[in-house]
Amino acid sequence: MLLETLLKLLEPINILMLNIGVAAGIIIGTLPGLNVVFAIAVLLPLTFGLDSVSGMLLLLGSYCGATFGGSITAILINTPGTAGNAATTIEGYPMAKKGKAGNAIKIALISSVIGGLISCVVLLLFAPQLAKIALHFGPPEFFALTIFGMCAVVGITGKKVLKGLIMTSVGLLISTVGIDAAEGVKRFTFGSSKLTSGIKPVILLLGIFAIAEVILQSEIINQDNIKNTQVKFEKATITVKEILCHWKTIIRSSIIGVIIGAIPGTGGGISSWFSYNEAKRVSKENDIVPFGEGNLDGLVAAETGNNATTGATLIPLLTLGIPGDPATAVLLGALTMQGIIPGSALFTDGSIWVYAIMIGLFFVNIFLLIQGLFFSKAFANITRVPKYVLFTCIVFLCIVGAFSIANSTFDVLILIVFGFIGYVLKKLDFPIPPLVIAVVLGELMEVNLRRALILSNGNPKIFLTNPISAIILLVSLLSLLYPFIRKNFKGNKKIKIHNSNL
Amino acid sequence: MEVNKVKKDFITMTILLIFSILLYAVLIPKYIPQRASVSGDIIFTSRTFPYIIAVFLGIISAIGAIKSGYLYFIRYSKVIKEETNNKTISMVNIKPYIIFSIIAAYGVMFEKFGIIISSVICLPLLLIIYGERKKLHYVEVVIFCSIMYLVFRFVLNIPLP
């Protein structure tokens, strides 16, 4: 099976798609304001005409590429390209100002690749085991997992929990449009035959992330601020051996990244900050180069932690069909379009598909390293290309892509409508990730809720009497209440410090 | 700014609360037919899940409306009185709406006139509205879109209108 998988991966089309994905991901990740989800969403239309493995490699390439790409702008212009690179600005930009931009980018690249490779190993080791455990899961457990996936995403919205819950409700409502598979009844089709198959999550994702962003970005008048802060790109002089001297930081940050990545609702942003703060706490280099002034440990930690989530977020996606973050929600949408249902069956049906994806992630990181080493300067020049040129191209890609799914202009209309809805939601400060996760998980949630209630003759206590689902629901509640708990804890701490100072 | 934000939240939450009531009372009964029961009690119908969502949405929006209403009408009432006395006219940025209109027109023209005509008209128009003056950028967009058209049409074999 391993040989078959490797031969499949080494097909020219797969290598090509992988590299295109990585390059496109780095380019999009480099642009401030555009995130990993945007990168995957924009490339999604290209997968419709491809084989499932090629399509997924394209998207995984863009996933890893965009996760690293944001570090280039973080280092050169002090603006993170994605949320996961915010911690990189603290050490990367000061390094660049000292004339070591090339070194900083090389450190970010090597750290990202190592973090990514370690997360691939974890994915390969743990995913099959979790799939075996998931075989014993029934409807109550799967229902509880969908609740957990949604609560976790809402919980990290911080002060916007209410708005997050509203978005979750709206997402679940959108997922009910179409034919109810259990009873064959049309729901919310408003007499239109075109809505019978429901609203495709992929179209919604494209509209809400790509088109909405294009409309939103038109409010930003000029990019002069970017040009004024940009630092010159100097060639890297640091060696790989010197970077690997920070192996303790790399290992620690990778572990943090993998654990955080495997938990639904988290992602590279949280992981990179955790890793950075941990490195700051234990580092002995603070005396040589203080943190905040170009400390290598800090930069290594931030980037390793960021990319170490990439493989780990695929664990709940591939084994349980629960996306770990909005980026994997888009990947789930892509899988559904390809007719692939994630879950334990992927690991037991004898198909090489899932192993091709997991091993393919290794290749993605290898090619990320190659492209980063040779083309970093070229990628850095992307910051000079006006964003509006790229946005115009993205509009074209989205319209054509939406049409390509089912050769339907109705899908184009849905894309545009959700593009506007996404823009309005962002203006009203509603978080988008809960909506996305709910749309993707809605059907799974309803199906398992229905099955569980039928099994228990309508008694909802089944979710509490079943120990696994009870524990998952408890964890879900805690993840939802986490911002309030944290706020109260911080408040009490401040009171204690104030009292002790008196 | 905070007052404006709270005001927007209050209006939005109220609208969502009204929507959830409409959803429960009108939309679900009207747009989800009830299948006749074939045997015994029906535990879970096609309407059950939408009803649960409607109730949940109603509760959350009610809480949101009460919270933002309290902030707007009680906590910030003094600030609102001061702002009413010092009223200034703020300009609405219409650029996003123009961009949206062009994208919408692009979608409609895509169906009626095909990809080439709609792209030739709408994409340069987008660049003009964005404020692009350099002709090179228009050429870059044309080249990129042409390449993508060829990829979709001849590599991915997706017929485009």
Summarised one tens digit per residue, pLDDT across range A302-325 is 899 888 988 888 888 888 888 877
- Substitution target from A385, A403, A427, A461 for chain B, most B beta carbons within 10 A: A403
The answer to whether residue A167 scores a pLDDT higher than 60 is: yes
Rounded Cα distance, A115 and A64, in Å: 11
What is the DSSP code string of A278-294?
HHHHH-SGGGTS-TTS-
Band (B148; pLDDT cuts 50, 70, 90)? confident
- Substitution target from B7, B45, B100 for chain A, most A beta carbons within 10 A: B100
Residues 22-51 of B with CB under 8 A from A: 23, 27, 31-33, 35, 41, 43-46, 48-50
Sequence-separated (6 or more) residues with CB below 8 Å from residue A68 = A25, A26, A29, A108, A109, A112, A113, A303, A307, A368, A372
Band (B101; pLDDT cuts 50, 70, 90)? very high
The answer to whether residue B129 scores a pLDDT higher than 90 is: no
Rounded Cα distance, A387 and A32, in Å: 9
Among A159-163, A220-224, A449-453, which stretch is predicted with the lowest mean pLDDT? A220-224
- Give the max Cα distance, chain A: 71
DSSP class of A136: T
> Which of residues A118 and B151 earns the better pLDDT score?
A118
Nearest CA in chain B to A452: B44
Average pLDDT over every residue of A233-260:
84
> Which of residues B66 and A293 earns the better pLDDT score?
B66
Chains A, B: CB pairs < 8 Å: 166
The answer to whether residue A378 scores a pLDDT higher than 80 is: no
Q: Which helix (H) or strand (E) holds A187?
A: strand A185-187
Burial of A422 per CB tally in 10 Å (0-12, 13-18, 19+): buried
Residues 350-389 of A with CB under 8 A from B: 386, 388-389
Q: Which of A34-43, A235-244, A350-359, B24-33 has the highest mean pLDDT?
A: B24-33
Rounded Cα distance, A122 and A118, in Å: 6
- Substitution target from A196, A337, A392, A457 for chain B, most B beta carbons within 10 A: A392
Does B65 touch chain A if contact means CB atoms closer than 8 Å? no
Among A51-60, A83-92, A114-123, A424-433, which stretch is predicted with the lowest mean pLDDT? A83-92
Report whether A62 contacts A39 (CB < 8 A): yes
Among A6-10, A255-259, A415-419, which stretch is predicted with the lowest mean pLDDT? A6-10
B152–A190: do the CB atoms touch at under 8 Å?
no
Among A243-257, A355-369, A391-405, which stretch is predicted with the lowest mean pLDDT? A391-405
B49–A172: do the CB atoms touch at under 8 Å?
yes
- Substitution target from A161, A173, A387 for chain B, most B beta carbons within 10 A: A173
CA distance between the termini of chain A: 69
Residues of A in contact with B44 (CB under 8 A): 182, 449-450, 453-454, 458
> Which member of B60, B96, B160 has the closest CB to residue A215?
B96
Distance of CA A176 to the CA centre of its chain: 25
Residues of A in contact with B115 (CB under 8 A): 400
- Substitution target from B8, B52, B67, B126 for chain A, most A beta carbons within 10 A: B126
Residues of B in contact with A190 (CB under 8 A): 31
B67–A188: do the CB atoms touch at under 8 Å?
no
Nearest CA in chain A to B52: A169
Rounded Cα distance, B117 and B110, in Å: 8
CA of A438 vs chain B CAs: smallest distance (Å): 11
Distance of CA A43 to the CA centre of its chain: 14
Nearest CA in chain B to A174: B50
> Which member of B9, B106, B132 has the closest CB to residue A388?
B132
Average pLDDT over every residue of A103-125:
90
Is the pTM higher than 0.90? The answer reads: no
Nearest CA in chain B to A182: B46
Nearest CA in chain A to B24: A173
The answer to whether residue A502 scores a pLDDT higher than 70 is: no
Nearest CA in chain A to B132: A388
Band (B27; pLDDT cuts 50, 70, 90)? very high
Rounded Cα distance, A192 and A328, in Å: 31
Residues 70-129 of B with CB under 8 A from A: 93, 95-96, 99-100, 103-104, 106-107, 110-111, 115, 119, 123, 126-127, 129
A169–B56: do the CB atoms touch at under 8 Å?
yes
Rounded Cα distance, B97 and A451, in Å: 45
Tokens 């930069």 identify what position? A299
Band (B25; pLDDT cuts 50, 70, 90)? very high
Nearest of A325, A316, A326, A309 to residue A253 by alpha carbon: A309
CA of B78 vs chain A CAs: smallest distance (Å): 24
pLDDT, position B1: 64
pLDDT, position A406: 77
> Which member of A162, A397, A404 has the closest CB to residue B63?
A162
The answer to whether residue A124 scores a pLDDT higher than 60 is: yes
Provide the b/e sequence for A219-236 (b: ≥16 CB within 10 Å).
Answer: eeeeeeebeeebbebbeb
Sign of CA dihedral A37, A43, A49, A50: negative
The answer to whether residue B24 scores a pLDDT higher than 70 is: yes
The answer to whether residue A208 scores a pLDDT higher than 70 is: yes
Rounded Cα distance, A41 and A469, in Å: 32
B103–A165: do the CB atoms touch at under 8 Å?
no
B99–A215: do the CB atoms touch at under 8 Å?
yes
Residues of B in contact with A182 (CB under 8 A): 44, 46
pLDDT, position A223: 47
> Which member of B96, B106, B156 has the closest CB to residue A423?
B96
Average pLDDT over every residue of A189-214:
85
Residues of A in contact with B100 (CB under 8 A): 215, 416, 419-420, 423
> Which member of B16, B46, B50 has the closest CB to residue A166?
B16
The answer to whether residue A342 scores a pLDDT higher than 70 is: yes
Band (B89; pLDDT cuts 50, 70, 90)? low
> Which of residues A332 and A482 earns the better pLDDT score?
A332
pLDDT, position B92: 66
- Substitution target from B4, B7, B46 for chain A, most A beta carbons within 10 A: B46
Does A413 touch chain B if contact means CB atoms closer than 8 Å? yes
Nearest CA in chain A to B7: A428
The answer to whether residue A79 scores a pLDDT higher than 80 is: no
Neighbouring CB atoms inside 10 A of B79's CB total 13
pLDDT, position A489: 61
Arithmetic mean of pLDDT over chain A: 82
pLDDT, position A50: 83
